[in-house]
Amino acid sequence: MRKSPFVVASAALVALAAPHAMQAQDQDIVATAAAAGNFKMFTRALTEAGLLETLKGPGPFTVLAPSDEAFARMPKATLDALFANKSALRNVLLYHVIAGRLTAANLSTMNGKSRKTVEGTDAAIAVNGTQLTVGTAVVVTSDIAAKNGIIHVVDRVLTLPER
């Protein structure tokens, strides 16, 4: 069976990042994200939503972590409103978490399917060439290992679909 270009590219990325991934496995998802330096808004949001302890827990979790750049793309009024409503903030953040440890290669095998998030809503998974998307976010860096899960960096903050 032929592997998709995304799976091959993911395997190459994992091989190149292996020394970093091995070090990160000693830390939980929150510490790994904080150490990376480009998740200041994400960790602030987790703190304000009361989710730090959850993502320090045993997991395993797959976290679609928006970078600071992703948060900067949000309109200021939208971001301010989100941070002002702790319940909405919590739900949006939980929409970025999937139970279990899913690598980019695992996710790419789910092309055209969806996966239930911890928030309870399904997020669509798609592979287009070497581009992996979950919901409306593109995974820009994948497979950052932590002792209680894995982080995939996404290019935007996912918003919950209209119900």
For 57-74, the pLDDT digits (tens) are: 999 999 999 999 999 999
Q: With b meaning 16 or more CB within 10 Å and e meaning fewer, what string describes 95-133?
A: bbbbeeebbbbbbbebeeeebebbbebebebbbeeeebb
Q: Which CATH architecture has domain 5-154?
A: Roll (2.30)
| 8 pLDDT tier (thresholds 50, 70, 90) | very low
pTM exceeds cut of 0.95 = no
Q: Is the pLDDT of residue 50 over 80?
A: yes
Rg for the chain (alpha carbons), in Å?
15
Which position has the higher pLDDT, 58 or 22? 58
For 94-134, the pLDDT digits (tens) are: 999 999 999 999 999 999 999 999 999 999 999 998 899 99
Alpha-carbon distance 86 to 44, whole Å?
12
pLDDT score, position 163: 61
Q: In 50-137, which ranges are continuous DSSP H helix? A: 52-56, 68-72, 76-84, 86-94, 104-108
